[in-house]
Structure 1
Amino acid sequence: MPFGGKLNSENRWVKWSEIIPWDDLAVGYYTTMNDRLGRPGKDARMVIGALIIKHELTLSDEETVLQIQENPYLQYFIGFSSYKDEPPFVPSLFVDIRKRMGQEVFSSFEQVILEKVGSSRKTGAEPVTNKGKLLVDATVAEQAIRYPTDLSLLNEAREISEHLIEELYALSDYSRKLRTYRRKARKLYLNLAKNKKLGVKLRRRGLREQLPFLRRNLKHISCLLDHLGSTPFLLEYKLQRKSWIIQHLYNQQDGIYRSKQRRCDDRIVSISQPHVRPIVRGKARKSTEFGATINVSMTDGLAFVDHLSWDAFNESKDLKQQVEEYRRRYGYYPEVVLGDQLYGTRENRRYLKANGIRFGGKALGRPAKQTTENTDRLKQIKAQRIQDSRERIPIKGKFGQGKNGYRLNYIRARLQKTSEAWINSIFQVMNLKVLWEKLDKKNKKTLFSEWRLLVMDDGARPLWKRNHFCSLLSIF
């Protein structure tokens, strides 16, 4: 430290840095990099440590860099040998890091955590038929987008089209400016947007008013492009991409208006993030969510993302893959699979029965009629079902931990690939916390056994050793 003193060895970042297997995680991170092309990359511990700090403290990219610059404990955590009053890297590097970290990197991280916990498959070990419990469930990782409505999307698309017309008009030799009627369109939009609730008639009236303005602007853009000819790179890529998106958005909204329906396939709900789709979940709080659907499996507190998709899917079709992934990770099938009734399809039940796995859910078909002979058996089945539903609670708690503690319900990345890396990083940080708790608990048990040997004996040990380990009692 330049101003004297030393770090506290009991600080959480110091203790956590000693438990995380940095070298093993670095091997998986460096697999995506080429040591012969480009500039030398940043140290793996610095990069992985910065990602852990970002999601552990739920900070933005800029705030994460500032916190590392100001906090000596965070600098020690990412591997600095001394305190430096300068940023470790520019905040925009986080975007490149998230682009680089694909599913292979996170799979290698998962394997490292399993090995450190001691739950990974061991070569040469005796085969085990069935062991452990597999918890499965799905949720939505919501994106940080404005709540979409048809009118707001059309208004935003119209404003983008007007900006495109201005850019193309500046490049052309037109003598007069093209009409866009932007003031009239804006006034009509605000007259409806100020209403608290829009009925069906008002919503259709708004679509009928806004669609012609956007259609006219798109025709102007086509005419300007035809007039300018085949000159390459008329607009930068961002503007070209927006022009493609608003044209597709217009086709969708025009089809919805003409068909008098409220849905369409691959519906765009955000112009800046066109990969986001509406996911109808039927929840009491939110009937529709906007983000990626993730199917998660959980065992002994460790949660793994088995399937991530931006389109809605039936999570029950992933059960076989999740069971096989469990076998790949641990070397044996689970003893029981705990999931909601959606996973208990006939096909899944046949697959689980063939592999000697019990499904912790209600049996299909009509309930058995209670008689004097089967009363005890039916009571046991009911008690087992209640117990299975209680043991399935931890995976719901894991979703709550991710959404409330790590903002899994507010993904602020804008690109599809970076959003997926953001979601996977949150689960990896939560798994590292589980690793920390397990190893810390194991170390405490070791210290407690040593304390009993040195303190709880007949006084044969030296007094200074007994007093030293008596001071460790405060840890427990």
Structure 2
Amino acid sequence: MIRYKSTRQLGLEGFSLPFGGKLNPENRWVKWSLAIPWDELASGYYKSMSSTQGRPGKDARLVIGAVIIKHKLNLSDEETVLQIQENPYLQYFVGLSSYKDEPPFTASLFVEIRKRMGRKVFLSFEETILSSIEKKRHRKTSKLPGSDDPENHGKMVVDATVAEQAIRYPTDISLLNEAREISEQLIDELYAISSLTKKPRTYRQQARKRYLAISKKRNPGGKLRRKATREQLQYLRRNFRHIEMLLDMIGGRSFPLHHNRQRQYWIIHHLYGQQYRMYKEKKRRCDDRIVSISQPHVRPIVRGKASHKVEFGSKLSVSMVDGIALVDHFGWDAFNESTDLITQIEAYKRRYGCFPEVVLADGIYGTRANRKYMKQNNIRFGGKPLGRPKRQTAGNAEQLKQEKLQRRQDALDRIPIEGKFGQGKNGYRLNYIRARTLKTSEAWINSIFLVMNLMVLLRFCCALLTGVSKKVQQDLFANLLAEALSVFVFQVMRWSTILVPNR
């Protein structure tokens, strides 16, 4: 249900502080609060909500402002709530009329927002940012003579990266030990509701002692690791027999414990099967390998980096145009990013109405199929040509020199996308995703790119409005953000209604 009052920003004089004084009008949060069109955002936020039914929701400005604060400052859910509680500038930013020394809401609200936000929400917002920048630049594409297609224009940079999850570094022995401990907890809970008078023997103390003996060694040999793996497999297999016996004794058509326990039982069973096959076949890999029991969707992705040969998380194919980074492909399994290039080029054409003039990427993207597609559409690939290098002669020496300089310049122009990944990982913790489920992890990653793109939009507005009066700057800036953010909020609520129907 909608419970809404106009979110038009109060003046600084109207914001009361219990300790006296007044807010600084030059503070960044004060400036942003004046530029963002809160009423327009609230209108889009409440479009799919009922005005008479359901539980009253939090004020739109409070929710939207808190999301912006969280990802801009790279805070946890709990820390974001505490920062708003303690900082009067942040309370002014989220629309409170006076300073209140109490939490504005519970931190679990962020979890619900992430559950409701899908890929289409972020995709529509990204496209809105791009269209807003294009309208401000008034860029018009020309026509090729005798053709109905617009001339190729622009530069697209593509690359792939891995967003690592916040999990413990997985080893076979530690995973089996965790699975064994979960199986012991299952035995304890099933025994409590069974008719047995004596608990099945699990040898948990001995198993724990054996695990610590190997885990404390700095560099255990292959024979010791194999022996420890065999021991943990035996303990786990014995526990599975006890669990099956207890389930048969309790009976019933459904699993007698909570659904989370049933899910854990399935996961550790699958983990045991993978580890047993690798142990018997003396291999160190298998398909769809589980590296985290709490997050079984996470997969190991071999990257071949000097510091991280293997990364554990999701892989992203990203294209960047004028500083705006767009996630074109999101997946948990390792994939060859070169297969996404044609789809990324077609997405570029849908956004801008034309093909790019040049595509900058590393050598893995230069497959014959990709080169053929780009040649058919008059797109230059900024990479080394296939085949043997041309023999230098007096007639082509200057041409070869220019081509070499062009390839060097293309390599330099590709650096910004590596910088964008560095910004995301160092500034926004893209390499430490703390969400637990598949959907919330994807929403977390897309939110990071959303904030980075929003910062590019803010810088673009500041550069565009240099030398313009302050009143005109605020009006133009508000209109630009209204167009970009209102669509985003509307899409959030539309998908929220689909995923979480009204009661």
Which residue does 1:300 correspond to in 2?
322
Which of 120, 125, 134 in structure 2 is aligned with 1:118?
134
Contact 2:142/2:151, CA 8 A, preserved across alignment: no
List per-residue Cα deviations over 1:311-353 (Å, max 9, x = no partner): 1011111111111111222222111111101111111111111
- State the alpha-carbon separation in 2 of the partners of residues 297 and 22 from structure 1: 31
Flag the 1:160–1:353 CA change in 2: closer, same or farther, 3 A.
same
Which of 423, 430, 433 in structure 1 is aligned with 2:455?
433
Contact 2:85/2:101, CA 8 A, preserved across alignment: yes
Flag the 1:58–1:24 CA change in 2: closer, same or farther, 3 A.
same
List per-residue Cα deviations over 1:350-379 (Å, max 9, x = no partner): 111111111100001111111111111110
Which residue does 1:228 correspond to in 2?
250
Contact 2:141/2:151, CA 8 A, preserved across alignment: no
Which residue does 2:271 correspond to in 1?
249
Whether 1:374 and 2:396 are equivalent positions in the alignment is yes
Whether 1:9 and 2:31 are equivalent positions in the alignment is no
When structure 1 is superposed on structure 2, of 12-21 and 58-67 the one drifting more is: 12-21
- The AA in structure 1 aligned to 2:221 is G
Which residue does 1:192 correspond to in 2?
214
List per-residue Cα deviations over 1:21-73 (Å, max 9, x = no partner): 65666677667767776434334432232122112212111110010111121
Which of 329, 337, 340 in structure 2 is aligned with 1:318?
340
- The AA in structure 2 aligned to 1:444 is T
- State the alpha-carbon separation in 1 of the partners of residues 301 and 52 from structure 2: 44
Structure 2 length as normaliser, TM-score? 0.84
Whether 1:258 and 2:258 are equivalent positions in the alignment is no
Measured after TM superposition, the shift of residue 199 of structure 1 is: 2.7
Structure 1 length as normaliser, TM-score? 0.89
Measured after TM superposition, the shift of residue 262 of structure 1 is: 0.3
Structure 2: tracts of 5 or more residues without a match: 1-15, 144-149, 473-503
Flag the 1:443–1:122 CA change in 2: closer, same or farther, 3 A.
closer
- The AA in structure 1 aligned to 2:388 is R
Q: 3-state DSSP class of the match of 2:429?
A: coil
Flag the 1:337–1:99 CA change in 2: closer, same or farther, 3 A.
same
Measured after TM superposition, the shift of residue 85 of structure 1 is: 2.7
Contact 2:141/2:153, CA 8 A, preserved across alignment: no
Which residue does 2:78 correspond to in 1?
62
State the superposition RMSD in angstroms. 2.3
Contact 1:142/1:411, CA 8 A, preserved across alignment: yes
Which residue does 2:353 correspond to in 1?
331
Measured after TM superposition, the shift of residue 240 of structure 1 is: 1.2
- The AA in structure 2 aligned to 1:364 is L
Which residue does 1:414 correspond to in 2?
436
Which residue does 1:94 correspond to in 2?
110
Structure 1: tracts of 5 or more residues without a match: 451-476
Flag the 1:329–1:15 CA change in 2: closer, same or farther, 3 A.
farther
- State the alpha-carbon separation in 2 of the partners of residues 227 and 32 from structure 1: 50
Whether 1:39 and 2:55 are equivalent positions in the alignment is yes
When structure 1 is superposed on structure 2, of 227-236 and 151-160 the one drifting more is: 227-236
- The AA in structure 1 aligned to 2:72 is E
Whether 1:153 and 2:168 are equivalent positions in the alignment is no
Contact 2:303/2:310, CA 8 A, preserved across alignment: yes
Which residue does 1:268 correspond to in 2?
290
Contact 2:163/2:432, CA 8 A, preserved across alignment: yes
Which residue does 2:90 correspond to in 1?
74
- State the alpha-carbon separation in 2 of the partners of residues 366 and 9 from structure 1: 64
- The AA in structure 2 aligned to 1:91 is A
Measured after TM superposition, the shift of residue 18 of structure 1 is: 3.8
When structure 1 is superposed on structure 2, of 104-113 and 186-195 the one drifting more is: 104-113
- The AA in structure 2 aligned to 1:47 is V
Measured after TM superposition, the shift of residue 441 of structure 1 is: 1.8
Which of 36, 52, 58 in structure 1 is aligned with 2:68?
52
Contact 1:316/1:343, CA 8 A, preserved across alignment: yes
Which residue does 1:104 correspond to in 2?
120
Flag the 1:24–1:2 CA change in 2: closer, same or farther, 3 A.
closer
Which residue does 1:474 correspond to in 2?
none
- The AA in structure 1 aligned to 2:134 is G
Which residue does 2:13 correspond to in 1?
none
Which residue does 1:163 correspond to in 2?
185
Flag the 1:184–1:414 CA change in 2: closer, same or farther, 3 A.
same
Number of residue pairs aligned between Structure 1 and Structure 2 = 449
Which residue does 1:470 correspond to in 2?
none
Measured after TM superposition, the shift of residue 414 of structure 1 is: 0.7
Flag the 1:257–1:233 CA change in 2: closer, same or farther, 3 A.
closer
- The AA in structure 2 aligned to 1:212 is Q
Contact 1:352/1:358, CA 8 A, preserved across alignment: yes
When structure 1 is superposed on structure 2, of 216-225 and 383-392 the one drifting more is: 216-225
- The AA in structure 2 aligned to 1:202 is L
Contact 1:29/1:105, CA 8 A, preserved across alignment: no
Which residue does 1:240 correspond to in 2?
262
- State the alpha-carbon separation in 2 of the partners of residues 429 and 299 from structure 1: 16
Contact 1:121/1:331, CA 8 A, preserved across alignment: no
Contact 2:255/2:262, CA 8 A, preserved across alignment: no
- The AA in structure 2 aligned to 1:442 is L
